[in-house]
Amino acid sequence: MKKRGKIDMTRGPIMPSIMFFALPMIAGNILQYLYTTVDTLVIGNFCDHTAIAAVGTSSQPIEVLLCVFLGIGTGVSILISQHAGARDLTGIRNACKTAVSFVYMCGIPVSILGFFAAPLILKIMGVPQDVWDNALLYTRIVLISATGNIGYNMNAGILRGVGDSRASLGFLAVSCVVNVVLDLILVAVFGMGVPGVAIATGTAMSLSWIVSIIYIRRKYPEFLFTFLPKGIVKKELGKIIRLGLPIGLNNSLFSLGHMALQTLINSQGSAFMAGWSVAGRVTGIANMAITGISAAATTYSGQNFGAGRIDRLREGRLMIPFASGAITLFFGLFFILVRMPILSLFTKDREVLLFAGRNVMIMLSCQWMYAVFNVISCIINGTGRVKYTTVINLLMLWAVRIPAAILISLFWDSRLIMLCFPVSFGFGLLCMLAYYAFSPSWKALMERGSAYDK
């Protein structure tokens, strides 16, 4: 199964392998960032700030509905990486066959459920009346393409599992160009506003899914990958659900928590909502490395666990997380310095810029803690130990971040609720370090490394 562009993380220097894997994903993150950034730029220059607020707040219910299945895609990635590490081609084929069927089983129901549930969700979130119509249109239109979104992320997980991180970059390049062109045509030329942006986003993501299917069939014919479902292997489905469902439920509950937090944001008015949304464009730039290195850490852990190379797990368990933290801190400090010129590209509204600038300063000064926390979580997940990380993620949000936001809102300044993030990041980081230090299961795994040391 040796392929050009595929990285075997079970041998060789650790950090070069991690970075070679992560760099295409970071580039892909930049392209994904362009999705939302171009949307915001086009809306900010051709519509008013209520349209920016609508797109920003609509992303939360979309995440809630899709995150369970995106987490299951991560489960597929973990399982594929373990099969790849063990050189088990039959296992990879069975996992791929099951994943294809799973996409169709889930995508269509999510689209239908999301379409009808969108008004209720937006009402619960307290979306202001001047934002309502655009938020509802955006949510419904994007969710129509849910199958494409789920399918693309499932296929990207398969490719990450076998060590191929370059392919997703090409898929995203194609879809990004389509998204930008459609944004300009539908919004700037035809004046379709928020619905135009939603159509562009949904079309581009569906195209990525189709391109990813074609790529896997041509590049990895031995996987016997298909366009349409060909059945499910129950054993593989059980493994995928066991690995992916806790991550997916965690992601979904995490997004649900963000919806609860968004409700507090919405209560501050459309200008504050727009500032929060615009700030996300800058914090997104600075945090590109987190997702790429985290995905590399999952594949590194899964491949080495599957191959029995526990010695390499032991060697990389702190090296990779703290490298991610250092990179994130560097970019965070840089973007704090240049935040206002970048923010002014999205809006000229002085009140919106004030809120956005404050948000960027607070978020980017503490994001390095999340970078370390997230990579440790991914290393643990790669070994199949997903329960602890799921619990800590939920506690970090529901027991720390949201209560902190409520307390800040009630007893201090409601427009400083973003301070709840550094509090929750610090809590999560301490919990992950405690797992490394005190978990009997993890200690036993690390001690097994001596059997593989050379």
Cβ atoms of 192 and 201 closer than 8 Å:
no
Rounded distance between C-alpha atoms, residue 297 and residue 86, angstroms: 17
* Per-residue pLDDT at 35: 63
Mean pLDDT (whole number) for 196-224? 91
* Per-residue pLDDT at 1: 43
Give me the chain's average pLDDT, please. Answer: 85
* Per-residue pLDDT at 246: 79
Cβ-proximal residues to 453 (8 Å cutoff; 6+ apart), any chain? 311
21: its two tokens? 């894997």
* Per-residue pLDDT at 226: 92
171: its two tokens? 């898929």
- Four-CA torsion 110, 116, 120, 121, nearest 10 degrees: 20
Asked whether the predicted pLDDT for residue 270 surpasses 50, the reply is yes
> Among 126-140, 142-156, 229-243, 365-379, which range has the highest average pLDDT?
365-379
- What is residue 287's three-state secondary structure? coil
Query: Residues in the chain, how many?
Result: 454
Rounded distance between C-alpha atoms, residue 115 and residue 104, angstroms: 17
Q: Using 50, 70 and 90 to split pLDDT, how confident is the model at 451?
A: very low
Rounded distance between C-alpha atoms, residue 60 and residue 77, angstroms: 24
Whether the model pTM is above 0.85:
no
Each domain of the chain, given as residue ranges in start order, spans 14-446
* Per-residue pLDDT at 142: 87
In this predicted model, what pLDDT tens digit does every residue of 320-375 receive, in sequence order? 999 999 999 999 999 999 999 989 888 788 888 998 999 999 999 999 999 999 99
Q: What is the DSSP letter of 385?
A: -
In 3-state terms, the chain is what percent helix, strand and coil (to 5)?
Answer: 85, 0, 15
Sign of CA dihedral 390, 392, 398, 401: negative
* Weakest mean pLDDT among 43-52, 354-363, 413-422, 428-437: 43-52
203: its two tokens? 């079309």
Rounded distance between C-alpha atoms, residue 426 and residue 366, angstroms: 9
Q: Using 50, 70 and 90 to split pLDDT, how confident is the model at 118?
A: confident
Q: Give CA angle at 69 (65, 74), nearest 5°.
A: 140
* Per-residue pLDDT at 266: 78
* Weakest mean pLDDT among 176-180, 312-316, 358-362: 176-180
Q: Using 50, 70 and 90 to split pLDDT, how confident is the model at 6?
A: low
> Among 28-32, 35-39, 149-153, which range has the highest average pLDDT?
149-153
Compare 63 and 4 and report the one with higher pLDDT.
63
Compare 55 and 446 and report the one with higher pLDDT.
446
In this predicted model, what pLDDT tens digit does every residue of 230-269 receive, in sequence order? 888 888 888 888 888 777 777 777 667 767 777 788 777 7
Mean pLDDT (whole number) for 398-422? 88
